[in-house]
Amino acid sequence: MNDSSLENIKYHEAKGIIFQNSDEPTEAIQGLEFVAKAVIELQKTKEALRESEEKYRMLFSNVPLGILHFDSKGIITNWNENFANIIDSQMESIKGKYLSEVIDLHLVSAIECALAGTIGHYEGDFVSKTSGKITFVRVNFAPIILDNGLISGGVGIFEDITERKQIEKIFFHDIMNTAGNLMNFTELLEDEDQSKEEKKELIQVFGNLARQIINEINTHRHLLTSGNNVIKLNIKKIHSGRFMEGMLDLFDHPDIFNSKKINISNDSVDIEFETDETILSRVIGNMIKNSIEASSPNEEITLKCSQKNNMIKFSVHNSVVMPDEIQHQLFTKSVSTKGAGRGLGIYSMKYLTETYLHGNISFTSTKDEGTTFTVSYPLKYSNE
C-alpha cells in the first residue's frame, strides 16, 4: 500500500469510518452524508420530544384541575400541585404511596373501573386521608393502555366543585323561601273579606314574587352553563329608594308575618348605585326574614339606607338581642339567630355580599339597642 493510500485510510479513520477501498471517495462522502442526516433527524426528534415534554409539563402544572397518575399496582407515580392542594398535603409526602393511603374509600369503585379498562366517575365529598380535609369534588378516572393492550395504570382528574355546591345550597334555600311566600299570599286570595283593592295589591305582589323567582332561576342557570363555578352577575344602575320600596311590598304584610310591621326609616337616602339587583334582593330579603323570625308579634322592623363616602349602606333593625353564644359564631354555615343547624340564610348574606357584590357585612346586638344587620357596597361596582 503506498503512502497516499495510508493517508486516505488515516483520514477516514479520523472521521470515525474506515473505507477499505480508497478508490471510491464518492461512497465515503455519501456514507458521511447519510450519518450526518441521521444525526440531524435524531436531534430534531429529541428537540421535538423535549418541546412536547415541556408543553405537557406546563399543562400538567398549570391546569386548574388536580391530576393524579398511578400504576397498575395502585401506587401513585405522579401528581400536580392542584391535587396536593385538594388533599391539603405536601407534594413530597404523596410520593410512592398507595392510593388506599391517600384516596377516600368512596372512590375505590371508580379507580377499579380505570384499572379494568373503563372510565370511572365519582361526585361527592372527598375526605383526604392525609389531612382530613373535606372537599366536594367531581372526579374522572381513565385507564392508561399500552400498544400491546396491557393496562399500565390510570389517571384521575379532580375538579373542586365546593364553590358550585355552596351556591346551589344557597340558591335552593332562597328560592324555597320565596316560593313559600308566594304560597302564603295565594291563600289570602281565598279570603272572601278581601276588598278589590286589597286583592289588586296581592296580585301585584304575586307578580313581584314570580319575577324574583324567575330572576333567581336565571341567575342559577347562568352558573350551571358558565363553564366555571361562579355566578354570572347582571350589574346595572338602580335607585336605593325604589329598591327598598320593592322589598317593603314583599314583606310588609302583618297578616302573613305574624303582625310584624315593617317600615322604611324617614332619614333614608335615595341614591343611584351599581349592583346585581337579584343578588342584592336575596341578601336584604334574608336580613328581613331573619328579623321577622327573631322578633315577637307586633314588633316593628326598620329598613334604612345611608351613604358614607363612596359606599351605600343598607340596614335592618329589630328590638331583639341575640344571645352571646350565637353572636360569636353567627356567620358560620350551621348557626343562626334561630339556633344551631339553621344558619344558611345568614351565611348566604355574608357569602353573596363579600364574594360577588364586593361589600361587607356586620351586625350589632345589645339589650338597649336591639339587633341591626348592616351591609355596605361601593356605589360603582368594579371587578377589581
Confirm or reject CATH 3.30.565.10 for domain 164-378, answering yes or no: yes
Q: Give the three-class secondary structure for 87.
A: coil
Average pLDDT over residues 301-315: 94
Domains 62-160 and 164-378 share a fold: no
| Residues near 384 by beta carbon (within 8 Å), at least 6 away in sequence | none
Q: Pairing between strand 66-71 and 151-160?
A: antiparallel
Q: Mind listing the pLDDT tens digit for each residue in 311-337?
A: 999 999 999 888 887 877 776 654 444
Handedness of CA 220, 222, 227, 228 (dihedral sign): negative
Q: Give DSSP secondary structure letters for 336-380.
A: ETTEET--HHHHHHHHHHHHTS--EEEEEEETTTEEEEEEEEESS
Q: What is the pLDDT of residue 10?
A: 46
Q: What is the pLDDT of residue 380?
A: 94
pLDDT band at 265 (very low <50, low <70, confident <90, very high): very high
Do residues 350 and 331 make contact, with C-beta atoms less than 8 angstroms apart? yes
Average pLDDT over residues 52-64: 61
C-alpha neighbours within 13 Å on the C-beta side of residue 85 = 12
pLDDT band at 340 (very low <50, low <70, confident <90, very high): very low
Least confident range of 40-49, 82-91, 93-102, 259-268: 40-49
- Exposure letters 355-374 (e unless 16+ CB within 10 A, then b): ebbebebebebeeeebbbbb
Average pLDDT over residues 7-22: 45
Q: What is the pLDDT of residue 20?
A: 46
pLDDT band at 341 (very low <50, low <70, confident <90, very high): very low
Average pLDDT over residues 259-283: 89
Q: Mind listing the pLDDT tens digit for each residue in 203-229?
A: 777 777 777 777 777 766 665 555 555
Q: Does 275 have pLDDT greater than 60?
A: yes
Element housing 134 (H / E): strand 134-145
Q: Which CATH class is domain 62-160?
A: alpha beta
Least confident range of 79-93, 148-162, 182-196, 227-241: 182-196
Report the percentage of the chain scoring pLDDT > 70. Answer: 72
Q: What is the pLDDT of residue 315?
A: 95
Q: Does 361 have pLDDT greater than 90?
A: yes
Average pLDDT over residues 361-379: 92
How do the domains of the chain map onto residue ranges? 3-52, 62-160, 164-378
pLDDT band at 18 (very low <50, low <70, confident <90, very high): very low
